[in-house]
Structure 1
Amino acid sequence: MKHLKLLILIAWLTVAYTTKAQIVVEAGNAESLLNAIERANLQNADTLSERLFILIPDGVYDLGERVLTSISGHNIALVGQSMEGTIIVNAPKVENEGISTTATLLNRGHHTYVQDLTLKNALDYYHSGAAGRAVCWQDKGDSTIFKHVRMLSYQDTYYSNNEHGHSYFEDSEIHGTVDFICGAGDVFFYHCLLVMEKRRQNGGGRDIIAAPRTSKTDWGYVFSHCTIRSNNTDFVYARGWREQPHCTWLYTTIEQPEHLQSSRFEPRGMRTIQSRFQEYGTMDAHGRNITPKSNVATFTLNGEKNTTETIITKKEAERYALKNVYSQWRPDKKTRTLQKQSARMMKRYLKL
């Protein structure tokens, strides 16, 4: 009987280990981080691979001029020790500037999970000429989750580059100037801080937070209970990129509402006038409702016009609850589970 119990215990320990596989990166060693990602890509090449955690201690992981470091494996979790202390940074050459050429990390995997770290693209934005497109995370994958993740750049900081993609941000922070949240697919931002950097180094200029190009999905970008912080820079919520862009702002707190332009959205589309841009329940830093009763916007392109009301009702806003946007996936529940697993793993590692 004792022998049987021992066999059962060994079997259980084996299962527990294989379902919580992990790779630990050497603190501050960029080469160790790159090797860990490469190993994870090989180990989790199959979409049905079990979750694999890459634990990244606090430190600066300087990738130099390297761009498009690829996460191609599936069910990979990049877990830092802390959002402020674990920093992955690259600095592309200015001549390499471009939305598809500069990303610090390029995700191609499904069910990627990122937690407690900072991604920084240090391209020399203010000396890059007419454009300074420097992406921290380009996402060609699907079902990506970010928890306590900070992204630091200026233009095109986060790029969702999958027409059918789905992603979820929670308690995260994104900095930028021009279209710094841009791309396709459905992306839900919950309780995130959006920080406007200076459009020009000496001040002035105007920022644009989002530039969706919704084409194959139903919801586009949904910002729920997020906070907008302006570095004394005027801004608008969003502008249309192409296709039929969707962008909805719910219960937003604006710390400096005087910097939100009266149009609230950019009326000039880049390649489209088909826009579903919406807003409900906007507040100032003191929690006072500052949503206008009406904001009729006219979006224009090459002489064509699309006039629409951007302020929606409470009932219409309720349609954009996370449980409706992601009725099957429920990333909020997955986040709670993965966060607990990550915390236990990191705690054990730090005790070694």
Structure 2
Amino acid sequence: MPPLKYLVVSGLLLMAAPLFAQVTPPPTATTKPAEAPSFNKAVRLTVAPDDSGDYRTIQEAVMAVRDFMQVEATIFIKNGTYREKLVVPSQKTHITLLGESKEGVVITYGDYSGDAEKHTTYTSSTVRVQGNDFTAENITFENSAGPVGQAVALHVEGDRATFRNCRMLGHQDTLFLAIENSRQYYQDCYIEGTTDFIFGASTAVFDHCIIYSKRDSYITAASTTPRQQFGFVFFDCQLTAAPEAKKVYLGRPWRPHARTVFINTDMGAHITETGWDNWRNPDNEKTAYYAEFNSRGPGAPAKNRVAWSHQLKAKDAKQYTLEKIFAGPTAWTPQRK
């Protein structure tokens, strides 16, 4: 047995070892403090189907963005076909989906109302945008279900949504502008469908868009509420159609106070002389507001338009500016590019 003094010293050293192990040395001059999480730092992510980006699916990239961003989070999407039922949740704000090319980036799915999964119009969408301050450029949104009834390609309910140089492909109910407190701007877009393929309660502007009817039916079905001054407004658009489409109406009211206005629009011969329909309910004629200004082309003559529609005078048309249409509780004027 070793002498007592050696045992005492050894014991003190053993007790001290853990104490020294818990002491963190002071930072040196070159140590950088950890960066605090920020909602104000721009983010850029890349999606690619071949593993050359940060993510392989758009949904993964969207969910990777911090909630309630205050500056842009740009998700660059490389060319490819993305079979996704994409949702941009309400907490994912200030997201931009930027496609490599309009024809090359396709988001597609095939749900439709009444399918085996018991989807409705409200759940059939390929892409659903709930977050505010959303932007999409150079992207195709497609519902691939075919002519089987209501099948939404793009469903938008977020406020201050912008779509530039995009395509919306489908048949019935292609583009759903879902709720009244949503302001939406579409510039240089291509939208195709059969029946009511631009529909809903939002306030929306279509600026230099091509609207393509695939058969005889109705282009718009607004459900504007009495609380809204503006519904759907089309500026400098082209109304085109497939050869088999011979009798297409500009719109019919999904709800009584529907508001739809066409300004400086080229209308093909497929647009019916009467222009508008009351959805087999004469009472709708008392509240719906359907108007045109300076329509052009073979489908434009106003002579035989329904008596309850309006031909605007120049002074009336001047009220239709982006600033006034999108005034809302907080001002918003999307920038034309």
**TM-score scaled to structure 2, two decimals?**
0.78
Give matches, 1:336-351, under 5 Å. Answer: 336=337
Is 2:218 the partner of 1:208?
Answer: yes
* 1:156 maps onto 2:159 in alignment: no
Matched-pair contact (CA < 8 Å) for 1:71–1:107:
yes
Shift of 1:238: 0.5
Other-structure match for 1:8: none
1:188-222 per-position Cα deviation (integer Å, ceiling 9, x unaligned): 11000001113xxxxxxx22110001113211000
Equivalent residue, structure 1, for 2:93 = 74
Please list the CA deviations of residues 279-328 of structure 1 after superposition, one character each: whole Å capped at 9, or x if unmatched: 1111128xxx9442x55525xxxxxxxxx242121211121122332353
Aligned residues: 289
Equivalent position of 1:51 in the other structure = 72
Q: 1:68 to 1:23 in 2, by over 3 A?
A: closer
Deviation at 1:278, TM superposition (A): 0.2
Q: Which amino acid is 2:219 matched to? A: I
Q: Look up the SS of the partner of 1:119 in the other structure.
A: strand
Say if 1:168 and 1:269 are closer, same or farther in 2 by CA, change over 3 A.
Answer: farther
Counterpart for residue 90 of structure 1: 109
Question: In 2, Cα distance between the equivalents of 1:326 and 1:97?
Answer: 32
Amino acid at match of 1:318: K
What SS does the corresponding residue of 2:164 show, helix, strand or coil?
Answer: strand
Q: CA deviation digits over 1:6-59, x for unaligned, max 9?
A: xxxxxxxx9xx964311111236795222112212xx1x22x522101110111
2:238 pairs with 1:227: yes
Residues 48 and 80 of structure 2 are in contact (CA less than 8 Å); yes or no, is this contact kept in structure 1? no
Q: 1:141 & 1:272 partners in 2: Cα distance?
A: 28
Q: Once superposed, which parts of structure 1, at least 4 consecutive aligned residues long, lie more than 4 Å away?
A: 28-31
**Corresponding residue of 2:203:** 186
Per the alignment, do residues 28 and 245 of structure 1 end up closer, same or farther by CA in structure 2, a change over 3 Å counting? farther
What residue identity is the alignment partner of 1:107? V
* Counterpart for residue 135 of structure 2: 113
Which consecutive unaligned segments of at least 5 residues does structure 1 have? 1-13, 199-205, 299-307, 337-352
Deviations 1:211-249 (A, max 9, x none): 001113211000010001111212010000114110000
Aligned partner of 1:195 in structure 2 is 212
In 2, are the aligned partners of 1:281 and 1:291 still within 8 Å (CA)? no
| Stretches of structure 2 lacking an aligned partner (at least 5 in a row) | 1-35
> What's the counterpart of residue 61 of structure 2?
36
Q: In 2 relative to 1, CA 79–68 (structure 1 residues): closer, same or farther, beyond 3 Å? A: closer
Q: Equivalents in 2 of 1:28, 1:209: separation in Å?
A: 38
2:183 maps to what in 1?
Answer: 166
Query: Equivalent residue for 1:301?
Result: none
Task: Choose from 126, 131, 143 the match for 1:104.
Answer: 126
Q: CA deviation at 1:139?
A: 1.3
Seq. identity, %: 23
Aligned to 1:297: 306
Counterpart of 1:24 in structure 2 is 46
Give the partner amino acid of 1:227.
Q
User: Given that residues 28 and 61 in structure 1 are in contact (C-alpha distance below 8 angstroms), is that contact kept between their aligned partners in structure 2?
Assistant: no
Matched, 1:331 2:334: yes
CA distance in 1, matches of 2:257, 2:334: 25
State how far apart, in whole Å, the 2-side matches of 1:269 and 1:74 are: 41
Measured in 2, the distance between the counterparts of 1:193 and 1:124 equals 20
**Structure 1 length-normalised TM:** 0.75
1:156-211 CA-to-partner distances (Å, cap 9, x unmatched) read: 1111111111110000110101100000121011000001113xxxxxxx221100
Whether contact under 8 Å (2:42, 2:73) holds in the other structure is yes
**Counterpart AA for 2:165:** H
- Corresponding letter in the other structure for 1:39: A
Structure 2: which amino acid aligns with 1:57? K
